[in-house]
Structure 1
């Protein structure tokens, strides 16, 4: 690789890590604090979880129009605007001490994030050499894991010594600085070709992507996998604060470091995709998730930590596989729409299952709740074996 291309490649890598950090820290800094939002605003666990669910559901529906903006405004411009607005809304999310104001701000954050997510994989596909694409996507997904973990940890540590308002301002301010660095670092799009793009074209692209036999199975699968992941992380703080573990908020925040295993799995599975079929790797990732989830039902702290490590390892492995999947199998004329359809299912799963599972948790309790979601993961493994071979095979023959 010549010096100029190498320099561009590493600027893209750095920018992807920054962008992933901003987006996923903005999404998930509220997650370990759901119990505190519940107490402050006198809400049930399921209602308090809306601080995350309303963001992901607005994100999902905003993705219906985000490809139209991306294809008209350009990849880089869309991502930069998305990051700047997301950071500002985060800073002001607790400006008014009212639960519905917070939900409104979180709703707007979801809308803004959609622009970045609708553009990022398409930008990489356009600007990165084919042989390096899998590596870059793996690093990007690793950045999403890092952003989410650090945000959860930092918010948990900060809230022990300040309040929710201060946490929102600090997370938003740090994201704003990172957004400016992203703007400076990311190379402009050189392979983006602005083409006539109407809402009718957008509609047709969504329909074609949704009905594509090569990729439609991944949509349903990601709906459930991310929903299960969000559910576990939304409500695990409740059993952890109760006897016999009785952990405080700082320790719970530190436990979220276990999900850094997702950084490792993203890199590992990004390389394995060059050697093995995606269907096999994806089923392995689901089994890994189920194993980790079951371990969190114990009352032994080191086993709970081990379970979280394994659980996160599995979900980020599945995300890496799915991102490569869409990028390689979606037709070139509808790649942006295919990425958006995937993200719509992804975030609808996060919001709908993440919210409704709160009632399941209240009804069953933690252990039986985990056995239900683990059983669903195992069922998906068998369904993919039966129905998914043609749909989910990544490598071309």
Structure 2
């Protein structure tokens, strides 16, 4: 019997896998970030400051960060696809409930629970992908998956913003949840069964393999893995903070943009839809390190442009920043499971997303305090500093060794 080496581009199951994960990305990220488009409306309706309204995003990303490692253990027991399916269905139900929450405390609690359920997809998707796609094509496939997550994040914001402006933020969030319900159904129908991993196979042979703690430690003792996790922590923290507070910045003088126009700026997410698969393809051709470093540099250039108080320049800066961020994320997230030992791939991916969403939760709130107290330019200076730290860490640890003479 020939061992399964992974699906190749052009095959039916390869296409189904990418399309299925594309819809999983929509089902996850549309509802995760939908409130971001209506944060000023939530703040006004509930009578809370910007940083408190932003907790509706941070609460869900905190729940997701807390859940990714447990979900990786669940996926090792029941299988990759069943774990992701349970997560997206449960999250969609909780998202609908959150849209009718009577007060901010209940809203935050439900958003946290929703994030816990949503943790199944990012915790497992890249491990599933690395097991089901031929090793030569994992970087490119990971880029395609990340592109799907950008469409999810964009669609949730673009739907919630205009609907929320017309009939209130609750209906805006609920409309995104309805989109996620349809995407979850398509994911469950399309995604192919796992062939590179079979739940329970090692137990049937009497070999339980390394414990969950041992699999986590395999990754945590590796400097390269720690730096990849730092990429997610710093860059995602910067990215979410920019999208959280840019609306407040542009709604104030000298821009004074309406909420609907501010919502349209989320179309900058399309830059990530383009840059993610492109970064994956370039990583296959030129190596992951050089593409990661270049992507971080692009993101930093975008931050500098957003400091110019001219609307077209701010918009260009947002597009450049978004493209750079998603390029770096596509490379780092796809690199993480490949660089891990096979038995610890799910945990490697989960630890990356623990850092990724931990950064979103921490900096999504903390940089709001800085924005409120010190203003937009100081806020951007901190964001730029986070990009530069991530760049320095990558150069120090991830740079390929030069061949000896």
TM-score, normalisation: structure 2: 0.92
Which of 182, 185, 191 is residue 190 of structure 2 equivalent to? Answer: 185
- Aligned 8 A contact 1:31 1:233 in 2: yes
Cα distance change on mapping 1:89 and 1:294 into 2, 3 Å: same
Cα distance change on mapping 1:238 and 1:331 into 2, 3 Å: same
The Cα of 1:64 is off from its aligned counterpart by 2.4
* Partner-residue secondary structure (3-state), 1:64: helix
Map 1:1-397 → 2, pairs under 5 A: 6-194=11-199, 195-196=202-203, 201-389=211-399
* Partner-residue secondary structure (3-state), 2:284: coil
- Aligned 8 A contact 2:9 2:15 in 1: no
In 2: Cα distance, 1:184 partner to 1:92 partner: 25
The Cα of 1:130 is off from its aligned counterpart by 2.2
* Partner-residue secondary structure (3-state), 2:257: coil
Paired positions, count: 391
In 2: Cα distance, 1:59 partner to 1:165 partner: 22
TM-score, normalisation: structure 1: 0.93
Cα distance change on mapping 1:199 and 1:95 into 2, 3 Å: farther
The Cα of 1:122 is off from its aligned counterpart by 1.4
The Cα of 1:379 is off from its aligned counterpart by 3.8
The Cα of 1:327 is off from its aligned counterpart by 2.4
* Partner-residue secondary structure (3-state), 2:192: coil
* 1:343-384 CA distance string (max 9 Å, x none): 101110010111111111112100121123213322432343
In 1: Cα distance, 2:10 partner to 2:131 partner: 14
* Partner-residue secondary structure (3-state), 2:119: helix
Cα distance change on mapping 1:383 and 1:305 into 2, 3 Å: same
Cα distance change on mapping 1:3 and 1:40 into 2, 3 Å: closer
My pick for the range that moved more, 371-380 or 206-215, is 371-380
Cα distance change on mapping 1:331 and 1:172 into 2, 3 Å: same
* 1:138-190 CA distance string (max 9 Å, x none): 11100111111121111111112111221222211221122111111111112
- Aligned 8 A contact 1:68 1:199 in 2: no
- Aligned 8 A contact 2:141 2:277 in 1: no
- Aligned 8 A contact 2:272 2:323 in 1: yes
* Partner-residue secondary structure (3-state), 1:102: helix
The Cα of 1:330 is off from its aligned counterpart by 0.7
In 2: Cα distance, 1:100 partner to 1:27 partner: 18
Gap regions ≥5 residues in structure 1: none
Q: Partner of 2:3 in structure 1?
A: none
My pick for the range that moved more, 287-296 or 126-135, is 126-135
The Cα of 1:237 is off from its aligned counterpart by 0.7
The Cα of 1:199 is off from its aligned counterpart by 11
Cα distance change on mapping 1:284 and 1:160 into 2, 3 Å: same
* 1:183-212 CA distance string (max 9 Å, x none): 111111122222349898111111221112
Superposition CA RMSD, Å: 2.1
